[in-house]
Amino acid sequence: MSIGLWLAVEPIYLFIDRLLGSINVANLVSHFCLNFVFLAAGVQIAHSIGRCDVAARIRRFSIIGLPLCVALMTALFFATDLSYSSMGLDDFRDTDTAVVLYKLSLYIYPAVVSALLVKPLVKANAGSRYRVPFYSKKLMAIGFAFGMIAPMGHLVELTNRRLDWLTDVLVYPAMLCVLAGLVLAWISALLTHRHKLQPSPRLDHQKVS
């Protein structure tokens, strides 16, 4: 994830392109990173809510789905007509349909993983007795629901290039909700760990006696 984020910094993005002697290859690398992040995060989140069956389902799909998505992204990347390095490839979206299809291919694997996680998170949330875990799972479920429909943004863009902002409307709330949910989950884990470390007053009384 850190590699993908660093590649979103324009000087680093351009440096990687110069270093590898290619045009916009940094964008392709960042797309690869995001797909593998969804594999790792999806499996981990499934385990965190006690759904080993969902984690296994993500792994089974990834055996075939992830290589296919990577191959599709790579093929569409080399099908694009790019004349210079432009972070995000936004400069080419109005003139090159292959660029929009390439950007759409980024969201296929994350959308499937998101779809596999939404319902289990909602079901797990039904058993949450405490507010922090409740809102953690709820926010993640909302975020993955946005991630599930994120490809629709680029599909609509193919019909009307003026709607290129639609994908951002779906993707940014997805990222914010999942990130907020993960932060709350981390806080919940810290609170639980601290509670376990605190000695029971009854045990302290027995020690004194």
What's the token pair of residue 183? 């932060």
> For residues 161 and 106, what is the distance between their CA atoms, to the nearest angstrom?
18
Q: pLDDT of the chain along its 209 residues, tens only?
A: 778 778 888 889 999 989 888 899 999 999 999 999 999 999 999 998 899 999 999 999 999 999 999 999 999 999 988 888 888 888 888 888 999 999 999 999 999 999 999 999 998 877 666 777 788 889 999 999 999 999 998 899 888 888 888 888 898 999 899 989 888 888 877 877 666 666 555 545 455 44
User: pTM for this one?
Assistant: 0.84
Contact 148, 11 (CB under 8 A): no
Query: Which residue is it, tokens 């694009």?
Result: 80
Contact 118, 178 (CB under 8 A): no
Tell me the longest C-alpha to C-alpha distance in the chain: 82
Query: Which residue is it, tokens 């290589």?
Result: 67
